[in-house]
Each structure stands twice: as structure tokens, then as C-alpha cells.
Amino acid sequence: MAIYVTLSNLTDEGRKTLKNRPDRINEVNKEIESMGIKILGQYAVLGHYDFVTLLDAPSNEAVLKMSVELGSRGTLQLMTLPAMHIDELIHSLK
């Protein structure tokens, strides 16, 4: 399993959905987990992005599938970054 950081922005449609159905976030999270991806943490943030989500996924392909599935709905835009723990970075540089 590998760690990924997902930065997401709601579209106008996504903001309407969130306003009318705030629990939709939990429903989407269950869908993500049914794809074999574990949500390690999720935060609503201020600034350029609306949410930051930390994922533990089995592969790039699994994350790509999730991104296409969620993005195709037109309610959010995702940017997903593979992440490396600092200790792994230090070890790889030695």
C-alpha cells in the first residue's frame, strides 16, 4: 500500500450538493473504501483547495480509477500526489 495526498475542489454543483446533503461526504468516503482505498484522514481547508484527503491505496491504478469515477460526476476536481514518508526519503538518499 502507498500513501497519496488528494487535493480537491468542489464545482458549483458540488457546493450545491454539499449544502443540501452534507452527509454526502461520508457516502463518497464509503465508495472510496469499497474500491480498496483506505482514508487515513480528511480535512476541509481554506484557501486554494476545499479538502485535503490522505489515502492509503494499493496502486496508482486504484487511485486513477477512483479519480476518474469521482471526477466524472462533475461535482469536484481532484489533484492526487503520491507521497513518501520522510524516513523513506532519508533512507533512499543514504
Q: How confident is the model at residue 1 (pLDDT cuts 50, 70, 90)?
A: confident
Contact 80, 3 (CB under 8 A): no
Strand order in the sheet with 76-83: 38-44, 51-57, 2-10, 76-83
The per-residue pLDDT for range 20-62, each reduced to its tens digit, is: 999 999 999 999 999 999 999 999 999 999 999 999 999 999 9
SS3 category, 76? strand
Residue 55 to residue 33: CA distance in whole angstroms: 10
What is the span of the domain harbouring residue 64?
2-93
Instruction: Give pLDDT, residue 59.
Output: 95
pTM for the whole structure: 0.90
Which pLDDT belongs to residue 70? 96
The pLDDT score that the predictor gives to residue 28 is 96
Structurally, the chain folds into a number of domains equal to 1
Q: To the nearest whole number, what is the mean pLDDT of the chain?
A: 96
Q: What is the DSSP string of 29-74?
A: HHHHHHTT-EEEEEEE-SSS-SEEEEEEES-HHHHHHHHHHHHTTT
CATH at residue 22: 3.30.70.260
